[in-house]
Structure 1
Amino acid sequence: MELRILGSIELWTGTALADLGPARQRSILGVLLVDPERPVPLESLVDRVWGEQPPAGVRNVVHTYVTRLRRALARASAELPEPIGVVRTPTGYQVSADPGTVDLVRFRRLLKSAQREGLALPERSALLQQALHLWRGDALGGMESDWAARLRETLRQLHHEALSQWADAEIRLERPGAVLAELRAALLTDPLSEQLCERLMLALYLEGRSVDALEYYQSIRRLIAKELGTDPSRRLQRLYETILRGEAADPAPAGAAERGGEPQGAVTHGTGTHGVGVFAAPEPRAAPPAVPVPAMLPLDLPDFTGRERELDQIARTLTGPAGAQPHAVVLVGGGGAGKTALAVHLGHRLRPAFPDGQLYAALRGSGARAADPHAVLGRLLRALGTDPDRLPADPDERAEIYRLALSGRRLLLILDDAVDDAQVQPLLPGSADTGVLITSRGRLAAPLGARVLQLPDLPHGHSLRLLARMLGAERVNREPAAAAAIARYCGGLPLALRAAAVRLNTRPHWPLARYAERLGNEARRLDELAHSSLSVRASFAASYDALPEDAREALRCLAHLDVPEFDAHMACPVLGKDFAAVEDACEQLVEAHFLSVAEPAVADLPTRYRLDGLQRSFAQELSAGREPGAAQGLVKGAAGAVRAAVQASF
């Protein structure tokens, strides 16, 4: 059973081609097979199949085609242990099939295997030949859209690269005649490809056909002048001059060494079977640059403390057995909870597990202006070795090249401080080779079937350990009670602990007891937990500003409750709204990490929420700073009713 797109879009059952229906229906399958391990959103599917002129009611048209496609695939694969189908996921449509049955996936895997360092030339040539035999013509044959044309060109260049590598291997194995037919066939569709022209000229020369090689050069020179108004590259010109003078030619064109060819200067035969003494060891030259191994992680914190359980859970998920989907984790936590520090620390720890490098992108989801995923793709592609001048402007094409660059490489990708799924989706890999760790204040829709982990507050003991590492154990041990009080006032928030430590380190003459006393004043607590860029208030404000107005008003008003724990019934008099509206506002505050769940809903009892610690201090500041108005009067006027409701609930 083979799913094919390196040519016309087909399903080969082993004995016959399956009937996949009309062209548009086959095109939908083709789109899904380009990245079989990644769902394709409906909007992208429509754009890739129809472009800018989709038919009326295109959603119904897609549904009809997908339904018919499912039937065709089910009939063709009925005898398989797991029949092929098309499934709908929360993020789009996806083919349910072993990726290894897709010819493009097999091609990439063979190409990766052939590029292994130290592989013998015969094995390299055999692997490349297997990869090239998968091609039956232009990719996505029969599919007509701008997207298909762009992707077809990208894949054609990938085919030419594999063909060039195979030609290099065959020429070094003293079999130049074996590559002539394949090179000529490829040049019929891409006559201006100078990398293929160079191999064809060299193979002709080494076959003893110098006249043919010189005539071919003249024809390509005229074509380049006519089409591009320029001359052939200097490398091609130098090869022409070498052939013209009958001098020894290097059997490995520039760039072959970096693809795993024999070392430069390798001994080759002097006179071939065709009687032309052209193989000679070239002059030594500098080794070409290796494929870049990105190392984009920020510096690890030298005093990172605790989180052993979370580190172990994430590490086991990211390094688990290979599957169809990338290993992915979404780490969720409030502002200042230490998500970035944990992600960076883990990235450094997992370097051996991801030998092809670590990619890192700060998505600034909690800032005033979140990062544009299109720009982030550009930075990541440059780190992966893509020439900046060759970065496409089209977002879909850039994402395709990015996924191709990730394919077959064991990388760790950290997307830090994501704002939503729309920002994350274009940055996700298309294969299971890359591990993905996403941090976010919000709750993303678990892209790639990711495991979602909530980052809790630091336990009190870990908070004390962190203070000791930042302040010095001697200073903490001199005043253990004061250190414990500081840790409690910081509420297990790593950002608060770091702000406190920096403040104390700038005042080495202060006893810890004095600072603990200042933190005990709730009205000044957030002032005390701020130093330079470390500010609990600023971190909370970023989350607060992202809330809808109803939730912001609820937070301001809830600060007037006399107890930290309550349910939506008790908060109704404060907010002046019905139970459902208050419950919705409270749940939004839970998602923003201002409220925590004290007791989940049970039977007829509603959820009980908690507002305490630094979040309560922040809410009280907001409430105190509001202009007098109706809502403020409502809070004061309802105080008696709220107290009565609270007392009745205990």
Structure 2
Amino acid sequence: MQVRLLGPVELRDGERGAVPVGPRARAVLAALALEAGRPVSVERLIGAVWPDRPPATSTTQIHGCVSALRRALGPARDLLVTRPPGYLLRLEAEAVDALGFGARVREARAAERAGDAERASRLLREALGGWEGPALSGVPGLYAEAALLEEQRLLALEERIRVDLARGAAAELVPELTRLCAGHPLRERFHAQLMVALARSGRRPEALEVYGRARRVLVAELGVEPGPELSRTHLNVLTGPGAAETTLPHDPADFTGREPELARVSAALAAPGGALPIVAVSGRPGAGATALAVRAAHRMRARFPDGRLYVDLHFTADPVEVLGRLLRMLGVAELPVGRAERAELYRARTHGRRLLIVLDGAGGERQVLPLLPGGDGPAVLVTGRTRLSALPGAVHVELDPLPRGDALLLLARIAGAERVAAEPGAAARIVDLCDRLPLAVRAAAARLAGKPHWRLADFVRRLSDEDARLGELAHGDLDVRPGLAATHARLSAPARRAFARLADGSFDREGRARQENPENPSYLESRENRESRDALEELVDARLLEAVPGPSGHVGFRPPGLVRCFAREFARELTSRPEVGNATEEWG
């Protein structure tokens, strides 16, 4: 005789097959089979049949169920005996599938300890193959026992997957683990195993997406961060061999030029010595500081085998929040609350590790300083609009417009080499109207690629209209305006007022002052002039003005072409608003 509990509860006879048993007798059979070889009290049997409110005749009915089971057992009725305080079912463990399941799992564990992973995997598969559905189906009074059996099944399944991963079957496990994660979204080990399987199959970005989904579910459903195992797996995927590139943005295939700047960045980041290497890349909006940093980080994979971590600071991101993001990348599940505590833990986690931290879009030194890693090993690559001169020991790399040859090469790569070769003069004029900025040249080239019937000369005429130029240089995600607008938004009020005058074309600080006050050289030190001078210097720092030495030693100021176009749009908007329409008069 055999009793099946791993699915619908059944009594089976080797000759007769499944033996019909009533629902109450089936509950008694299940309770007895779970404890095969040991007595089960009548009280426990009553609970198996009536989990909530047993009737007054429950004891009598249990005796009736036992009698029905003995009739069902037929010649094997002696297997069910009376044994105070209840009854005992004399069956060997192999005759009860749930007990046999446990025995095979223990045998598989012993095989794995002995180094026989193949046998361990086979035994676990056999054990799991005996399940025919949810355990103890149809017996609600044994809910706790059913939940325990289901947990044992899941543990055995996790063990079998772990053994198979160790045997090198990563790719084959991905579909199964994907289904398991969908069916058990709160079971962290399945998510961790799927991450491992994906990473070992060369699918690291997907592995990191698994972690992100799992974390969102855990936070939303339980209000907790991932536990140690899933966090460690996340860190291993991030920083394991070949993993670091998955934390970086895509390396643009059309990246052009900047070889001298790349060489400086790479040399500075790889410089020997105990001090933390810091490289700060700065340039005008659209100069390609982010693209250059990403290209450099991709190139330096071998130099930083422990990982390359990228965060976008958006110029104003709170360092406390950014430290949390970095710590989660480093596998920290429980984040400290305070800034000092997070910074201390961050420095401890990065100490001695060959990590490259890419901090993109820094708004200033105060934002960056708390994000510097600790100890020997890491390096930092920062990008920003302004020169971060207060960063200790930083090597500064400033991005000028592209040389015309590189700008034309970039235009040709996207818009088509034949079109550029056919109209070389117009092509040169296009890149000049783009201020030879990579972002603007990409946008112009993308417009041309989407308009194969346009002549380059026709596009030059469109770009020559300063009131329409920025609109012509907007194509999908390629748009010069957002970077200029973000830079303008961080200006002080005096600098914004000065910015409104950029549409005039130029500034000449000292020459203008002398013309207006030839007999009063102290004018340059007056409060009014200091404010104007400070505002202009702020615009220079923000890369919205260029300082141009004049013939008589004074300094003039000139906005680049695209900045002047943006200033014209800004001035039109400003003067259309009555409450601020006269804001620029004091600069007249």
Residue matched to 2:183: none
Cα distance between partner residues in 2 of 1:286 and 1:558: 63
Q: Deviations over 1:525-565 (max 9, x none)?
A: 1111112332222221111111111111112124325xx46
Residue matched to 1:394: 338
**How many Å apart are 1:391 and its aligned residue?**
2.4
What amino acid does structure 2 have at the position aligned with 1:508?
Answer: P
Cα distance between partner residues in 2 of 1:337 and 1:618: 16
What amino acid does structure 2 have at the position aligned with 1:355?
Answer: P
Residue matched to 2:325: 379
Cα distance between partner residues in 2 of 1:524 and 1:577: 38
**How many Å apart are 1:577 and its aligned residue?**
7.9
Alignment partner of 2:567 out of 605, 614, 619: 619
Cα distance between partner residues in 2 of 1:248 and 1:521: 79
Residue matched to 1:595: 545
Residue matched to 2:385: 441
Alignment partner of 1:570 out of 508, 512, 520: 512
Alignment partner of 1:424 out of 360, 368, 372: 368
Per the alignment, in what secondary structure is the counterpart of residue 407 of structure 2?
helix
Per the alignment, in what secondary structure is the counterpart of residue 302 of structure 1?
coil
Alignment of 1:316 with 2:267, yes or no, is yes
Residue matched to 1:298: 249
Cα distance between partner residues in 1 of 2:400 and 2:450: 29
Cα distance between partner residues in 1 of 2:402 and 2:366: 31
What amino acid does structure 1 have at the position aligned with 2:374?
Answer: G
Task: Flag the 1:477–1:634 CA change in 2: closer, same or farther, 3 A.
Answer: same
What amino acid does structure 2 have at the position aligned with 1:348?
Answer: H
RMSD (Å), alpha carbons? 3.2
Residue matched to 1:473: 417
Alignment partner of 2:405 out of 461, 465, 474: 461
In 1, are the aligned partners of 2:280 and 2:382 still within 8 Å (CA)? Answer: yes
In 1, are the aligned partners of 2:320 and 2:338 still within 8 Å (CA)? Answer: no
Alignment of 1:337 with 2:287, yes or no, is yes
Alignment partner of 1:408 out of 316, 333, 352: 352
What amino acid does structure 2 have at the position aligned with 1:362?
Answer: D
Cα distance between partner residues in 2 of 1:483 and 1:545: 33
Per the alignment, in what secondary structure is the counterpart of residue 261 of structure 2?
helix
Superposed counterparts of 1:621-636, under 5 Å: 621-627=569-575, 629-630=581-582
In 2, are the aligned partners of 1:325 and 1:448 still within 8 Å (CA)? Answer: no
Cα distance between partner residues in 1 of 2:380 and 2:267: 13
Per the alignment, in what secondary structure is the counterpart of residue 343 of structure 2?
helix
In 2, are the aligned partners of 1:329 and 1:450 still within 8 Å (CA)? Answer: yes
Structure with greater helix percent: 2
What amino acid does structure 1 have at the position aligned with 2:326?
Answer: L
**How many Å apart are 1:377 and its aligned residue?**
2.1
Per the alignment, in what secondary structure is the counterpart of residue 626 of structure 1?
helix
**How many Å apart are 1:444 and its aligned residue?**
2.5
In 1, are the aligned partners of 2:346 and 2:374 still within 8 Å (CA)? Answer: no
In 1, are the aligned partners of 2:416 and 2:449 still within 8 Å (CA)? Answer: no
Cα distance between partner residues in 2 of 1:625 and 1:577: 29
Q: Deviations over 1:576-618 (max 9, x none)?
A: 9843222211101101111112228x9x943232224111222
Per the alignment, in what secondary structure is the counterpart of residue 467 of structure 2?
helix
**How many Å apart are 1:284 and its aligned residue?**
7.0
Residue matched to 2:394: 450
Per the alignment, in what secondary structure is the counterpart of residue 454 of structure 1?
strand
What amino acid does structure 2 have at the position aligned with 1:570?
Answer: R
Q: Give the total of aligned pairs.
A: 351
In 2, are the aligned partners of 1:568 and 1:579 still within 8 Å (CA)? Answer: no
Cα distance between partner residues in 2 of 1:299 and 1:445: 29
Segments of structure 2 that go 5 or more residues without pairing to the other structure are 1-105, 116-161, 167-192, 197-232, 518-523
Cα distance between partner residues in 1 of 2:367 and 2:542: 18
Superposed counterparts of 1:96-245, under 5 Å: none
**How many Å apart are 1:428 and its aligned residue?**
0.8
Alignment of 1:608 with 2:552, yes or no, is no
In 2, are the aligned partners of 1:558 and 1:571 still within 8 Å (CA)? Answer: no
TM-score by length of 2: 0.55
Cα distance between partner residues in 2 of 1:446 and 1:308: 26
Task: Flag the 1:527–1:571 CA change in 2: closer, same or farther, 3 A.
Answer: farther
What amino acid does structure 2 have at the position aligned with 1:375?
Answer: E
Alignment of 1:363 with 2:313, yes or no, is yes
Alignment of 1:531 with 2:462, yes or no, is no
TM-score by length of 1: 0.50
Superposed counterparts of 1:513-524, under 5 Å: 513-524=457-468
Segments of structure 1 that go 5 or more residues without pairing to the other structure are 1-241, 253-282, 639-650
What amino acid does structure 2 have at the position aligned with 1:509?
Answer: H
Cα distance between partner residues in 1 of 2:510 and 2:533: 5
Cα distance between partner residues in 1 of 2:247 and 2:502: 43
In 1, are the aligned partners of 2:509 and 2:555 still within 8 Å (CA)? Answer: yes
**How many Å apart are 1:624 and its aligned residue?**
3.4
Q: Deviations over 1:261-287 (max 9, x none)?
A: xxxxxxxxxxxxxxxxxxxxxx97855
* Deviation larger for 617-626 or 311-320: 617-626
Per the alignment, in what secondary structure is the counterpart of residue 614 of structure 1?
helix
Alignment partner of 2:534 out of 584, 607, 613: 584
Per the alignment, in what secondary structure is the counterpart of residue 522 of structure 1?
coil
Q: Deviations over 1:265-315 (max 9, x none)?
A: xxxxxxxxxxxxxxxxxx978559774414411110001001111101111
Per the alignment, in what secondary structure is the counterpart of residue 358 of structure 1?
strand
Residue matched to 1:119: none
Per the alignment, in what secondary structure is the counterpart of residue 305 of structure 2?
coil
- Calculate percent identity across the aligned residue pairs: 44
In 2, are the aligned partners of 1:565 and 1:598 still within 8 Å (CA)? Answer: no
Q: Which has more radius of gyration?
A: 2
In 1, are the aligned partners of 2:353 and 2:376 still within 8 Å (CA)? Answer: no
Cα distance between partner residues in 1 of 2:248 and 2:495: 36
Cα distance between partner residues in 2 of 1:633 and 1:409: 56
Per the alignment, in what secondary structure is the counterpart of residue 352 of structure 1?
coil
